[in-house]
Amino acid sequence: MNVSQNQTMVVYKNGERLTSESALIVEEPLSIRIEGQPYAVVMRTPGDEIAHAAGFCLAEGLIESPEHIVTIGFCSEASANVATVTLTGEQKKKVTDLLARKGFVSQTSCGICGKELVKDLHQFTIPVQTTLHLAVDEALRCADRLPDCQPVHKQTRSAHAAMIFDKNSVLLAAAEDVGRHNALDKTIGKILMDGRIKTAAFGVMSSRLSYELIQKAARAGLELMIGVSRPTSLAVDLARSVNMTLACARGNELMVFCGEERLTASNLNTKG
């Protein structure tokens, strides 16, 4: 499995023209089929296909637990890049409307084009619990661990990463991908298939947080999401509506946009 490819490039620097080799991240399509029928095509970096498909299905509302999956597989023969999922009969009946949609574009992958209704933003998203209490310093320490989980980014400088922790700040899983939404799907899929999703408490991402990431995190029951740049306004609105804490970590600074009650800090000087 190749996640990067070497490419010759020309670099102009300080008045000089140089030729160099650069590692570029691989981007390939992954077709996700549900019950033998095409459901979505996502552009992603190869790897963790089973976890990716499982996390994607959870985010889409197609499943609620691994028990709703009868089989899940991946075929890469002849560059097919197809992940196939079959559901239990009972679960298939519950998601008939989703499976029957024509021209449906995934509600949680990058982009909002093709959505049938604005209310789809909140579809299958229920409020998360409030059980997490995390020190601000600990949140920042967890965010600082991102580079340790980014070997592909170190090589290519163009991969996003997602990490998921339990309430004791133990790292449960991490994944990288060219797409930030794919990275989160893969990470959620790992803990879902390992049976550890109920212990998941919060996530950290190497990107800004937009609405589709909040929707995926809420489906996984995460109480807190931390990004490395400021979230979109729609992400904050959605996070607030599902009782999620949303923050941005920058160096020694943690900006909290909603759900501050889950975070604790000592020796604070409160200003305006």
- The domain boundary residue, chosen from 120, 154, 174: 120
**16 is a domain residue:** no
SS3 letters across 60-109: HCCCCCHHHEEEEEEECHHHCCEEEEEECHHHHHHCHHHHHCCCCCCCCC
- The predicted model scores a pTM of 0.86
Residues 106 and 149 in one domain: no
Active-site residue (options: 110, 149, 248, 258): 110
**12 is a domain residue:** no
Residues 39 and 76 in one domain: yes
CA nearest to 144, candidates 168, 171, 125 = 171
At 59, list the tokens.
């985010």
Handedness of CA 148, 150, 155, 156 (dihedral sign): negative
Give the residue numbers spanning the domain of 187: 134-264
Pairing status of strand 4-13 against strand 16-25: antiparallel
- The domain boundary residue, chosen from 120, 146, 172: 120
pLDDT of residue 16: 81
Residues forming beta bridges with residue 224, ordered by sequence position: 202, 245
What is the SS3 assignment for 33? strand
Residues 153 and 257 in one domain: yes
Residues 115 and 138 in one domain: no
Rounded mean pLDDT of 212-237? 92
pLDDT of residue 106: 55
Phi, psi angle pair for 95, to nearest 5°: -110, 25
pLDDT over threshold 90, residue 194: yes
Q: Among this protein's residues, is 110 annotated catalytic?
A: yes
What is the SS3 assignment for 201? strand
**2 is a domain residue:** no
Q: Which has the higher per-residue pLDDT, 122 or 254?
A: 254
pLDDT of residue 9: 77
Residues 154 and 243 in one domain: yes
pLDDT of residue 76: 72
Domain count, the chain: 2
Residues forming beta bridges with residue 34, ordered by sequence position: 37, 85
Residues 68 and 42 in one domain: yes
CA–CA separation, 194 and 132 (whole Å): 22
* Integer angstrom CA distances of residue 227 from 86, 162, 231, 240: 33, 9, 7, 16
CA nearest to 51, candidates 76, 27, 38, 32 = 32
Residues 89 and 139 in one domain: no
Number of H helices, E strands in the chain: 8, 14
**15 is a domain residue:** no
Rounded mean pLDDT of 124-139? 90
- The domain boundary residue, chosen from 86, 120, 154: 120
Instruction: Tell me the pLDDT of the chain averaged across its residues.
Output: 87
- pLDDT band at residue 118 using 50, 70 and 90 as cut-offs: very low
Residues 45 and 99 in one domain: yes
At 213, list the tokens.
């990431």
Q: What is the pLDDT of residues 54-95, one digit of tens each?
A: 999 999 999 999 999 999 999 877 567 899 999 999 999 999
Residues 152 and 229 in one domain: yes
